[in-house]
Amino acid sequence: MFAPSLIGNNNAYFANLMEASAWFDGVADYQELSFGSNEESARFLLSFWLRRTELGVVGTIAGTNEAGNQEIIRFDADDKLRVQLNNQAHISSGTFTDTGWHHFVVSVEQGGSPDVSVYYDGAAIAWGTDASLSGNPSWFNSTNNLRIGRDGGSNYGAFYMAQYLALPQVSIQNGDFAISDFGTGGLDDLSGLAWTPKSDAAMAALADAAGGNAFCLTGGIGDGTDASANGNDFTATSMSHAANGSDDTPPKAFAVMDLNNKAASITLTNGLRKVACSSTGNAVSDITIAGTGAYMFETLYTAGGTGGAGCVIGACLASQSPSVRVGNTAGDYVALSMSGSLYDSTTIADTFSAPASGSVITVTYDTSTGAFEWFDDGVSLGTYTKGAWAGQDILFLVGDRATTGDALDATVNFGDTPFSHPQSGFNTLQGV
For the chain, domains (ranges, CATH) are 17-246 (2.60.120.200), 267-431 (2.60.120.920)
Please report the pLDDT score of residue 157 as a whole number. Answer: 96
Are 428 and 296 a contacting pair, CB within 8 Å?
A: yes
Q: What angle do CA 111, 117, 118 make, to 5 degrees?
A: 160
Q: What angle do CA 210, 215, 216 make, to 5 degrees?
A: 115
Please report the pLDDT score of residue 136 as a whole number. Answer: 82
Distances (CA, A) of 30 to 82, 160, 232, 244, 380: 19, 12, 16, 11, 53
Contacts of 95 (CB under 8 A, 6+ apart): 78, 79, 80
Q: What angle do CA 78, 72, 106 make, to 5 degrees?
A: 90
In the chain, % of residues over pLDDT 90:
53
Q: How confident is the model at residue 225 (pLDDT cuts 50, 70, 90)?
A: very high
Return the minimum-mean-pLDDT range out of 46-60, 63-77, 376-390, 398-412. Answer: 398-412
Q: How far separated are the first and last CA of the chain, in Å rounded?
A: 20
Specify the DSSP class assigned to residue 202.
H
Contacts of 371 (CB under 8 A, 6+ apart): 365, 383, 384, 385
Higher pLDDT, 159 or 17: 159
Please report the pLDDT score of residue 170 as a whole number. Answer: 97
For residue 351, count other CB atoms closer than 10 A to its CB: 13
Mean pLDDT of the chain: 85
Are 327 and 280 a contacting pair, CB within 8 Å?
A: yes
Residues 366-395, buried b or exposed e (16+ Cβ, 10 A)? bbeebbbbbbbeeeebeebebeebeebebb
For residue 37, count other CB atoms closer than 10 A to its CB: 9
In the chain, % of residues over pLDDT 70:
85
List of E strands, 153-248: 158-168, 183-185, 195-197, 215-217, 235-237, 245-246
**pLDDT (mean) for 116-133:** 93
Return the minimum-mean-pLDDT range out of 178-187, 388-397, 403-412. Answer: 403-412
Q: Report whether pLDDT(8) > 60.
A: no
Please report the pLDDT score of residue 281 as a whole number. Answer: 72
Summarised one tens digit per residue, pLDDT across range 236-288 is: 999 998 888 887 777 655 577 775 455 556 777 766 777 887 777 778 887 78
Higher pLDDT, 371 or 346: 371
Summarised one tens digit per residue, pLDDT across range 22-51 is: 999 999 999 999 998 998 788 999 999 999
Q: Report whether pLDDT(189) > 70.
A: no
Please report the pLDDT score of residue 169 as a whole number. Answer: 95
Please report the pLDDT score of residue 6 as a whole number. Answer: 29
Q: How big, in percent rounded to 5, are the helix, strand and coil portions of the chain?
A: 10, 40, 50
Q: Report whether pLDDT(15) > 60.
A: no
Please report the pLDDT score of residue 303 as a whole number. Answer: 63
Q: Report whether pLDDT(128) > 90.
A: yes
Please report the pLDDT score of residue 252 as a whole number. Answer: 57
Q: How confident is the model at residue 210 (pLDDT cuts 50, 70, 90)?
A: very high
Q: How confident is the model at residue 421 (pLDDT cuts 50, 70, 90)?
A: very high
Q: How confident is the model at residue 7 (pLDDT cuts 50, 70, 90)?
A: very low
3-state secondary structure of 204: helix
Please report the pLDDT score of residue 402 as a whole number. Answer: 64
**pLDDT (mean) for 328-342:** 83
Q: How confident is the model at residue 1 (pLDDT cuts 50, 70, 90)?
A: very low
Residues 184-219, buried b or exposed e (16+ Cβ, 10 A)? eeeebebbebebbbbbbebbbbbbeebebbbbbbbb
